[in-house]
Structure 1
Amino acid sequence: MKNILSCIVTIITLSFLTTNAQGRKVSQSYETYEYTAITCRSHSASITDFGGVGDGKTLNTKAFQSAVDHLSQYSSDGGAQLFVPAGKWLTGSFSLTSHFTLFLHKDATLLAAQDLEEYLVLKALPSYGRGRDAAGGRFASLVFGTNLSDVIITGNNGTIDGQGSFWWQKFHGGKLKYTRPYLIELMFSDTIQISNITLIDSPSWNIHPVYSSNIIVKGVTIIAPVKSPNTDGINPDSCTNTRIEDCYIISGDDCVAVKSGWDEYGISFGMPTKHLIIRRLTCISPYSAAIALGSEMSGGIEDVRAEEITAYQTESGVRIKTAVGRGAFVRNVYVRGMRLHTMKWVFWMTGNYKAHADSHYDPHALPEITGINYRDIVAENVSMAGRLEGISGDPFKGICISNATISMAVKHKKVMWMCSDVEGVTSGVDPKPCDLLDGKQEKMDGGCEFPSDVLEIDNVELKSCSYQMN
């Protein structure tokens, strides 16, 4: 009888414990993070699953690379996402994989390690022939990838901190043998999304997609001291089908710099940047441009569409930089809806940007600059309306400016327009442009051209995705 009672008690106890455990399981709290992306993932993991420690002191380079390498097994099974929770995650350079999402919690910060040994040294880019800072190679970017497909770097406004002062001091002191790392660089890749993150104090350029296609950069905030060296915001370089929108940038160099290789190396590599959309960009850069085309443009730049551009205390609006030896072209550029305040120049083009990769450039390689269209522009507190300098014997042609109202600063330059070796037309521009832009054109009533067709990258819609963390 005692054995029977004991069994009954045991069964009741086990039943209670099982029910209680199930109840606890059901009542467990899960935090869900919603985000939009070109692709949602079937598998997820946290950096803490791989030994990551977010105390700002523990080095996590191996943890990040181990996590990416492990999750790469799911690339053909719905892909995977790596979640970076709240904390400060010190890391050196690590490489991503295909069909992969790196997601940063709003209180997560990736801290770039201040140790040169944590960055591999890569060969110079083939379209450049050398590093930007030094003749040798270059340090790998903090977040890097090459030959990838379907890569997403996003979050709910988490941060990547480049801790750039360490690198800026070495650069100014001439103590670097290689070019400084960027924060994000993806090479030879297709289908890229970088969105809803904050980048601060990059050692050099912030976002550098190169030799890549089908790229969306959206909702990104980039901040660096305005005197920091070469901290360009977003640099699409020999890329096709790129959409940059809703970004806010304060930097020590161009907010968006469009590139395609340098002198004879870019000419030989021959990969242009084309089909580029830039919209709803806000820029502060007292020593550079809101948007720069060049100076490294030797693979060509074609079909750039910029609209709803706002700039404060920025040296120039949309600037074209090139030189003898660059070759190639900048053509079919369309800009509308610029709102500018406190500018040195509204319009600036120069064919005399003499920085060369080496002394072997071809002096007969002249760039073709044609089909440059600006319309619907309001600028206030401007020192000089325009400085347009083509190349002798190789004028910049097809410049069109319409519906532009420029209010000059109290202490503006006596010469409000400076023009040489350029040809173009204007309509409804105040103050009156230089005579070289006084060409006649029919059908100017509608202003300068802006395309009405829709580029392929604009048809890409983002899906609603989520990550659930225990």
Structure 2
Amino acid sequence: MTYQIPFLLAAAAVLTATAPATGQVRPTFSVKPTQFSTDTVSLLNYGGKADGQTLNTTAFQQAIAAASQKKGVVLIPAGLWLTGPIELKSNVNLHLAKGALVQFTADKSQYPLIKTNWEGVDAVRNQSPISGMDLTNVAITGPGVFDGNGDAWRPVKKEKLTAGQWKKLVASGGAVNEKKDYWFPSEQALKASTMPEPGVIKPGKTEPADFAAIKDFLRPNMLSLQRCKQVLLEDFTIQNSPAWTIHPLLCEDVTIRRVTARNPWYGQNTDALDLESCKNGLVEDCVFDVGDDGICIKSGKNEQGRKRGVPTENFVFRNCKVYQAHGGFVIGSEMSGGARNLFVYNCSFIGTDVGLRFKTTRGRGGVVEKIYVDGVTMTDIAGQAILFDMYYAAKDPVPASGEAEALPEIKAEPLNEGTPQFRDFTINNVVCRGAETGILIRGLPEMSIKNILIQNTVLESDKGMVCQEAEGITLKNVALLSKNTKPVMEIQNSQQVVVDNLRYPGNAELLVRLSGDRTKAVKLTNTDTKAAKKDVELGQKVPKKAISVSKR
């Protein structure tokens, strides 16, 4: 059978010089393309049946094995294909025809427990619905749909559903915790949720069989690629994931183009894309609408991540849209191997909890640096438009009703290998219409956030800017159009902060408040300070010389 797919011979993209420049820095790396023959095998040739009833796991594996020998294509024709886990091989393009829907069975017995990685550490989980390890030249393409049957795996918080939805969910079976505010698909999953670090490999529990008693709890990531080279993901929709949706780990030369990831907003841990310790890639024209972070950069967690020591580096993200998500473009919080040389161009975040979200915490270690953003539009952001947070508290960024919103007290601790670092970010041409806070920068007293340039940006929000424990922060040609102007900017224990040509609401109550005995070298220039009722307010122990104001 011959099935002509026009893009097979040059299936991945190489970055071109037409990419926008950000801060005079351009990507200098290239991405190696995939390449396949036109030899095509169909699932129908291996006994596959698109009747929504037949389990097609064997047909998938036989077709993939045959195509691998030819460096060719596996065609998934139109129809509803029920299957267990799909294991990819090198030199295979798995192609979903228009109208093809691949749904993964809810029968958990079809997913064996395996050694893998979960949220940055070695762990045992159920095998992913789609997986590949140590592959070269592998692709998933075509306009069809993958559905992970995620509701069979995921717990659900009562607060995320309406009363009617919650009642229906509880009546469907499963188990509810003692507080009656958390539903689990089974009693086994509920019991495992009370255990410390369930699924994590540790002395005395090192083999998959050691975790059989909590199998139901160990949700798999939907698409898992580990140590793969020359990867192409293009044109398909992937939805209803049990956990993370697309997870390349330790991969090189990754192209992700025109992929749509969709998960229900209540789906916990259902990040759209998690690039972990990957090198050289392009992500473009994708659409994400999920229950956790949208585009997310990771590199391992704590000691294991530092020991691995592999950053995520050399990636371009352009022309992507993120709808419901905890963050639009995110780095962290598992970033112990670092991240660098990342370029974000012309992306839109519509209704995300946070827009640009950079998060870490003590114990992570790792260096995040040389991050360039140029051209981001946002609207209806529930939390912060731009967030740098080194005190990530491992909870949703937007507090639930009745949950305290006070910032945690930050006290200095000794520097060690677990001290994280954020430095050298350039953010240009950002427009946000509607956010809780325009800019929040929160470093650690022992390790400030360093060298952040935000320019040519307009942020409409309830609060303007909060800057704590930072050094070398520059705002140039920025509009902080905040509703709360008491003050527009709050700067605490920060130094070398330059605000050049700031626009803010007329008749503001207070332009800038300084606090903290380590605040110094703050400069406000080319700004009409007369539009505010009061320009500067100094807290106790802040000397007048801590700030210089060049009135316009």
How would you bin the TM-score normalised by the shorter chain?
Answer: 0.7 to 0.9
Number of matched pairs: 394
Give the structure 1 partner of residue 388 of structure 2: 349
- Which residue of 254, 272, 288 corresponds with 1:249? 288
- Which residue of 440, 443, 455 corresponds with 1:402? 455
Equivalents in 2 of 1:299, 1:428: separation in Å? 34
1:66 aligns with 2:87: no
1:58/1:227 CA distance change after superposition, 3 Å: same
Give the structure 2 partner of residue 282 of structure 1: 321
Give the structure 1 partner of residue 469 of structure 2: 421
- Please tell me whether the aligned partners of residues 273 and 295 of structure 2 are also in contact (alpha carbons under 8 angstroms): yes
Q: Which has the larger radius of gyration?
A: 1
Give the structure 2 partner of residue 292 of structure 1: 330
Query: Cα RMSD between the aligned structures?
Result: 2.4
Give the structure 1 partner of residue 242 of structure 2: 203
1:139 aligns with 2:133: no
Give the structure 1 partner of residue 227 of structure 2: 188
Find the residue that maps to 1:40 and give its secondary structure: coil
Equivalents in 1 of 2:497, 2:393: separation in Å? 29
**1:56 to partner: Cα distance:** 0.9
Letter of the aligned partner of 2:94 in structure 1?
A: L
Q: For structure 2, which runs of at least 5 residues remain unmatched after alignment?
A: 12-33, 156-173, 175-181, 191-213, 396-414, 481-487, 501-552
Q: Which has the higher contact order (CA 8 A, sep 6+)?
A: 1
- Which residue of 84, 90, 109 corresponds with 1:98? 90
Deviations, residues 165-204 of structure 1 (Å, cap 9, x unaligned):
1111479523454531222111111000000001111111
1:437/1:427 CA distance change after superposition, 3 Å: farther
Equivalents in 1 of 2:122, 2:372: separation in Å? 31
Equivalents in 2 of 1:127, 1:379: separation in Å? 30
Deviations, residues 49-105 of structure 1 (Å, cap 9, x unaligned):
11111111110111111222233333xxxx111000011111111211111100001
**1:402 to partner: Cα distance:** 0.3
1:49 aligns with 2:87: no
1:383 aligns with 2:441: no
Give the structure 1 partner of residue 360 of structure 2: 322
- Which residue of 144, 159, 163 corresponds with 2:145? 159
Give the structure 1 partner of residue 377 of structure 2: 339
Letter of the aligned partner of 2:81 in structure 1?
A: W
- Please tell me whether the aligned partners of residues 288 and 323 of structure 2 are also in contact (alpha carbons under 8 angstroms): yes
Give the structure 1 partner of residue 270 of structure 2: 231
- Please tell me whether the aligned partners of residues 95 and 143 of structure 1 are also in contact (alpha carbons under 8 angstroms): yes
Equivalents in 1 of 2:67, 2:448: separation in Å? 53
**1:364 to partner: Cα distance:** 4.8
Q: For structure 1, which runs of at least 5 residues remain unmatched after alignment?
A: 1-28, 132-136, 357-361, 443-470
TM-score (norm 2): 0.68
Share of identical aligned residues, percent? 28
**1:147 to partner: Cα distance:** 0.6
Find the residue that maps to 2:61 and give its secondary structure: helix
- Please tell me whether the aligned partners of residues 126 and 265 of structure 1 are also in contact (alpha carbons under 8 angstroms): no
Give the structure 1 partner of residue 506 of structure 2: none
TM-score (norm 1): 0.79
Letter of the aligned partner of 1:439 in structure 2?
A: V
- Please tell me whether the aligned partners of residues 289 and 318 of structure 1 are also in contact (alpha carbons under 8 angstroms): yes
**1:129 to partner: Cα distance:** 3.0
Give the structure 2 partner of residue 214 of structure 1: 253
- Which residue of 421, 446, 457 corresponds with 1:368? 421
**1:128 to partner: Cα distance:** 3.1
Deviations, residues 223-247 of structure 1 (Å, cap 9, x unaligned):
1111211111111110000110000
1:430/1:123 CA distance change after superposition, 3 Å: same
Letter of the aligned partner of 2:286 in structure 1?
A: C
1:121 aligns with 2:113: yes
**1:138 to partner: Cα distance:** 1.1
Find the residue that maps to 1:235 and give its secondary structure: strand
1:56/1:400 CA distance change after superposition, 3 Å: same
Equivalents in 2 of 1:354, 1:346: separation in Å? 18
1:110 aligns with 2:159: no
Equivalents in 2 of 1:128, 1:355: separation in Å? 14
Equivalents in 2 of 1:212, 1:277: separation in Å? 15
Equivalents in 1 of 2:84, 2:138: separation in Å? 19
Give the structure 2 partner of residue 450 of structure 1: none
**1:124 to partner: Cα distance:** 3.5
- Please tell me whether the aligned partners of residues 168 and 203 of structure 1 are also in contact (alpha carbons under 8 angstroms): yes
